[in-house]
Amino acid sequence: MKLSTLIFLLSILIIGACETSTFNDTAEQGIYPEVDQSLWIYFERFEDEAAKRGIPINLKTLGITGVVENIQETNVAGTCQYGQHIAHVTIDLNFWQSSSFYNREFVVFHELGHCALKLNHNDLAFTNGICKSIMHSGLTNCRTAYNIENRDYYLDELFGIIQ
């Protein structure tokens, strides 16, 4: 093999190895980097619902990450680890696979209430035993009533529009 042919082939290999695909990089990062793609719609809806209430929230800028995976604790549908340098939502895989759209939304919004809004649990209940807040802990006797009919109430409460 001629030296010029060898140099040509090596040049092609080196140039090809240095090339990057911005399309693939963008597609992999997606709308919310380091967030499971199945959570994107809920992250987007959270931002939209906040904006409807005059609260600008950008979960990407806040650096909130999220996954759907098995949670070892029993009866835990989701968690939010948050602190000075972390804000990470985990939704239990078994819960996710067996839940409706609005049950998923309820849990994701609850966890984003911790991670994005820095809210604590609120276990207050109405006299009929229905939980007053989407931020209830699930450890008390109040009953969850998040559904299409009362969704606006719970989201107004979540974003501080009503107390």
| Domain residue spans of the chain | 3-158
pLDDT tops 50 at residue 23? no
Report the 10 Å Cβ neighbour count for 161.
14
Report the 10 Å Cβ neighbour count for 27.
9
- Mean pLDDT, all residues of the chain: 85
pLDDT tops 50 at residue 109? yes
Q: Tell me the pairing of strands 65-69 and 87-92.
A: parallel
pLDDT tops 90 at residue 24? no
What's the CATH fold of domain 3-158?
Collagenase (Catalytic Domain) (3.40.390)
